[in-house]
Amino acid sequence: MPTAPSDDLAAWIGRRETVEDRVDPRRVADLAATLDRPAPPPGAPLPPAWHWILFNRFVPAGEVGADGHPRRGGFLPPVPLPRRMWAGGRLRFHDALPVGAAARRESEIVKVEPKRGRSGELVFVLVRHRIFADDRLAITEEHDIVYREAPAPGTKGPASEPAPARGAWRDTVRPDPVLLFRYSALTLNGHRIHYDQPYVTAVEGYPGLVVHGPLIATLLLDLALRAAPGRWIDSFSFRALSTLFVDSPFTVNGQPDGGGARLWAANEAGALAMQATIEFSAHPI
């Protein structure tokens, strides 16, 4: 049976922080160039999930942990497990986040939950965000973070679930080191699994550089919006299921479903890497 969080970790439940930023047109244009998409002009709504380039800060060099993230024990709890991954999330888009607007993110840790899975000890952390544009609520988001044990040498990961048959929408993505580097830079993500080959293979035990979970989610949303031009997304839920790696092509796929769509990403072998659902808004922003 999973145990309750230790007193040290449980003390982080309810912790809050507020970060202010600006939806800077230059940064937005840089993300558009990275994704090879037109840049929305000042005043236009920021595309869904592009807000992940906001609210990220560099900590002083002396406060950086061994994995490249800020040392644990600041806003996030000091979970002792070495692997940290973005496991998924749920977002609702209430109003536009215009390019050029002043933005504010209010965050709270609402759950710290140890578990034991097939891969060993796990700790799940749930963070709830509220994002405002010029004091109007634009996005609410629940962010799932998972911490894992390091794998024993030679250990194989669990078998991956096969992806669904090809959907109505499909694109192939070829993630190279430049894409991973640029997305890390735009999101101020120092996690070494995305750019440091010796670290990711020798320390964390992956076969190569890891494609960012939020980047995959962004590409799924981008696919849906290009397949349904003129629509706006009301809500988005996604879950990471297996890892995608640099220089290994993967597909992003979608299938209309009622007032929304089912989305998924799959690796070259057809294994499911991420699954997601969206609901389109009846009233575009």
Q: What percent of the chain has pLDDT over 70?
A: 93
Contact 131, 19 (CB under 8 A): no
Domains and CATH numbers, the chain: 7-280 (3.10.129.10)
DSSP 249: -
pLDDT at 215 over 90: yes
Predicted confidence band at 125 (pLDDT cuts at 50, 70, 90)?
A: very high
| Phi-psi sector, 73: left (phi>0), alpha (psi -120 to 50), beta | left
Q: What is the mean pLDDT of the chain?
A: 92
Contact 109, 144 (CB under 8 A): no
**Mean pLDDT calculated for residue range 272-285:** 87
Residues paired with 131 in a beta bridge:
105, 139
Predicted confidence band at 1 (pLDDT cuts at 50, 70, 90)?
A: very low
239-265: per-residue pLDDT in tens? 999 999 999 999 999 999 999 999 999
Predicted confidence band at 82 (pLDDT cuts at 50, 70, 90)?
A: confident
Q: What is the pTM of this model?
A: 0.93
pLDDT at 3 over 70: no
Count of C-beta atoms within a 10 Å radius of residue 59: 14
Contact 223, 216 (CB under 8 A): no
* pLDDT at 156 (0 to 100): 65
* pLDDT at 35 (0 to 100): 97
- Least confident interval from 148-157, 210-219, 246-255: 148-157
pLDDT at 146 over 80: yes
Count of C-beta atoms within a 10 Å radius of residue 38: 9
